[in-house]
Amino acid sequence: MRFLKVFLIIAVAFLSVLALPSLMPSDSRFSLRPIMVSYNPYPANNFHAPLSSMGLIGLANATATIQTSGSGTAASQSSSPSGQSIRQNALRFTIDNSYFPQTETTIAIDPGNTSHVLGGFNDQKFFFCGALPVECGTISSSISGFTSSTDGGKTIAKSNDIPNIAPFGVLLNSFGDPSVAPSVDGNFFYASLAISRSSFANGIMIAKSNSSLFDNSVSCDTASPISTSNACWNTVFIFGNLARFASTFEDKDRITVDRNPASPFYGSVYVGWDHFDSDGTSSSYLARCDNNLSSCPLVSGGAQPIVSGSDIFPAWTTPVVDKNGNVYVTWCNFGTFTTFGPVSCRISSSSPGGTSFGPATTILSFMGADTTFPGYTVPLGWATETFRTFSLPSLAVDLSDRSNNLYFAIQVCASGHYYAFPSDVAPVANDNPGDCGNGAILFSRSTNGGSVWSDPISLSKPAVNDQPFVTVDSLTGQVYVVYYTTQFDQWNHRIDVVASVSNNRGQNFHQSRVTSVSNEPNSDPNMYNYIRPNGIGGSFSVPQYGDYIEATARGGTLWVLFTGNYQSEDGTFQTDPFLAVLNSQGML
């Protein structure tokens, strides 16, 4: 199978670095970092990963004579897993009483009513609740979960899942990879994979909400895993292969909406995705649905010209629509049949409707001779963190009256190639980069409709930096690039979310921390598969911090939906979506 589809699982099990702050190096990299909040109570708060009860007892015995006076570290870091949650500035954006994780977050707000917020995520309990003897409470009918709020994200109104679909009588489960966007009539679109667990028929679907989504008197329950309707969502099948044991596969859907009232396609929702053929090659597909989902023709793929042209390994097909209704699609073309590189990230544009895409322009390239960054590589995984990752691009357009700029971001591996086995040792690409030690977030902008792009700059600091997402405030024109980082942890392990913010249309950026407390990913027991033969780790339910994070902005407010495990469930902290809502004035 084409290596591009194998997003490696990095289950890194760290032993604690047993060193008190007084023994830490005096290097300024440590002295300038803020005091970290540990999930362990004193005195274990001086240690790296969460400790077991026996570990705490042993540590307490060993450090009985240590006093807290002098450094003040213990008092400033007091935090305990015995409580219900870690105090931080984000809301756990799901109602779930199981201990299975939710990942792959997406978010949208209604620009006409910013009190209405919709988040989407992959709900892992679909796989296990009902199949295993575990206490799950409610059972998910699909993987595609959602949460809504009627007060701008302060509280949760509803949390449930998208109904399934049965095109031509073939039952397909709504299978995650969610992407949400507001419609022009106060509702929301939700795109998802659609897959049969029995026959492997698969495709792309879109659901549209109705007024019941924000009506507290109406339940959005889907009756069962074979139900194809609920009171809040209507679904339509876009494209796919309904054959038994289908040899093609649709993946990584992203959506955008034409919001220009003067456009002949006003209200239309575009969905782009990666289409994989049986030989492992891929191409960028695009469909356009009208506002009511009554018609959804392909405009790229099938019988239509392919927007990704002759590229044979494009991935992460992402459409956006500018204020004039013009459609842009970006993707990155990855390597050859035997290599990961070179990687070329491209863009093509069309007039409204998406039926007249021109030649592609290269935004940037990396990994190999004659590229923009020949020494940068694809991060298949991180040597110091549990991410399911790849070099996934993000594209946004300014819809304010400030500009019509396009903005692009992507993560790359800047240094470190751990476990990079040569192809004669392991069946991997000839330029296998291995796990990455240090990543960079690259950013570029275009002021002329994508024809010319600025020299890419790095927005991040040396650390694990992953999964950037670009969004633009549709009123103020402020540009935000949000991403995960370990820069606030001297062990380069705990995770935070930051936003690189530009007040001058992407010319300069300053960084602002989104999360108030660093997240400890290894506190989730789902990160390790205890029943795997010979104890060879792995992840029990794929709760990695992947594949993406999303944000949206309007009128000086930034909403960021990210993966974290700040809340205790069944005695430990598990992975969930968390929503941070910030005022841009506080980020200056």
Q: What is the pLDDT of residues 206-227, one digit of tens each?
A: 999 999 999 989 999 887 778 8
Taking a C-beta distance cutoff of 8 angstroms, is the pair 201, 240 a contact? yes
Nearest-angstrom CA–CA distance, 314 and 410? 14
Q: Calculate mean pLDDT across residues 130-153.
A: 82
Nearest-angstrom CA–CA distance, 341 and 220? 45
The pLDDT tens digits of the residues spanning 253-285 come to 999 999 999 999 999 999 999 999 998 899 999
Q: What is the pTM of this model?
A: 0.86
Nearest-angstrom CA–CA distance, 204 and 174? 9
- Residues with Cβ within 8 Å of 266's Cβ and at least 6 positions away in sequence, in order, are 184, 258, 259, 260, 291, 325
Backbone angles phi, psi at 64, to 5 degrees: -60, -25
Nearest-angstrom CA–CA distance, 356 and 314? 19
- pLDDT band at residue 205 using 50, 70 and 90 as cut-offs: very high
- Residues with Cβ within 8 Å of 543's Cβ and at least 6 positions away in sequence, in order, are 100, 101, 103, 124, 524, 526, 527, 574, 575
Nearest-angstrom CA–CA distance, 146 and 93? 9
H runs (alpha helix) in 77-222 = 125-128
Which three-class secondary structure state does DSSP give residue 183? Answer: coil
Residue with tokens 């990543």: 439
The pLDDT tens digits of the residues spanning 546-567 come to 778 999 999 999 999 999 988 8
Backbone angles phi, psi at 219, to 5 degrees: -85, 140
pLDDT of residue 54 exceeding 60 = no
Please give the residue range of the domain that contains residue 508.
1-90+376-588
The amino acid occupying position 583 is N
Higher pLDDT, 26 or 433: 433
Higher pLDDT, 332 or 75: 332
Tell whether 568 is covered by a domain: yes
Taking a C-beta distance cutoff of 8 angstroms, is the pair 10, 418 a contact? no
Tally of domains within the chain: 1
Tell whether 30 is covered by a domain: yes
Query: How far does CA 256 lie from the centroid of its chain?
Result: 16
pLDDT of residue 112 exceeding 70 = yes
pLDDT of residue 29 exceeding 50 = no
The pLDDT tens digits of the residues spanning 437-468 come to 999 999 999 999 999 999 999 999 999 999 99
Nearest-angstrom CA–CA distance, 274 and 283? 6
Alpha-carbon dihedral sign for residues 175, 178, 184, 185: positive
Give the other-Cβ count within 10 Å of 296's Cβ. 19
As a whole number, the mean pLDDT across the chain is 83
CB-facing half-sphere around the CA of 503: CA atoms within 13 A: 8
Nearest-angstrom CA–CA distance, 426 and 430? 10
Tell whether 272 is covered by a domain: no
Residue with tokens 């969004």: 471
- Residues with Cβ within 8 Å of 490's Cβ and at least 6 positions away in sequence, in order, are 24, 29, 30, 33, 36
Angle at 96 between CA 93 and CA 97, to 5 degrees: 140
pLDDT of residue 105 exceeding 80 = yes
Tell whether 343 is covered by a domain: no
Tell whether 22 is covered by a domain: yes
pLDDT of residue 49 exceeding 80 = no
The pLDDT tens digits of the residues spanning 60-90 come to 444 443 333 222 222 222 233 334 567 778 9
Question: First and final CA of the chain: distance in angstroms?
Answer: 46
Nearest-angstrom CA–CA distance, 584 and 588? 7
Taking a C-beta distance cutoff of 8 angstroms, is the pair 299, 278 a contact? no
pLDDT at 62 (0 to 100)? 46
Nearest-angstrom CA–CA distance, 128 and 522? 21
Tell whether 544 is covered by a domain: yes
C-beta pairs of 218-226 under 8 Å, 24+ apart in sequence: 220/158, 220/160, 221/160, 222/141, 222/142, 222/160, 222/161, 222/162, 222/163, 222/164, 223/141, 224/141, 225/126, 225/139, 225/140, 225/141, 225/142, 225/164, 225/173, 226/164, 226/171
Continuous segment of H or E residues that includes residue 53? helix 53-62
Tell whether 175 is covered by a domain: no
Taking a C-beta distance cutoff of 8 angstroms, is the pair 190, 180 a contact? yes
Q: Could you give the C-alpha distances from 120 to 154, 372, 393, 406, 578, in angstroms and in order?
A: 16, 35, 19, 25, 11
In 3D, which of 539, 560, 542 has the Cα closest to residue 551?
560
pLDDT at 149 (0 to 100)? 97
> Which residues share a beta bridge with 132?
129
Alpha-carbon dihedral sign for residues 450, 452, 457, 458: positive
The pLDDT tens digits of the residues spanning 384-408 come to 887 878 898 999 999 999 899 999 9
The pLDDT tens digits of the residues spanning 460-500 come to 999 999 999 999 999 999 999 999 999 999 888 889 999 99
Taking a C-beta distance cutoff of 8 angstroms, is the pair 273, 252 a contact? yes
Tell whether 68 is covered by a domain: yes
Angle at 269 between CA 268 and CA 273, to 5 degrees: 145
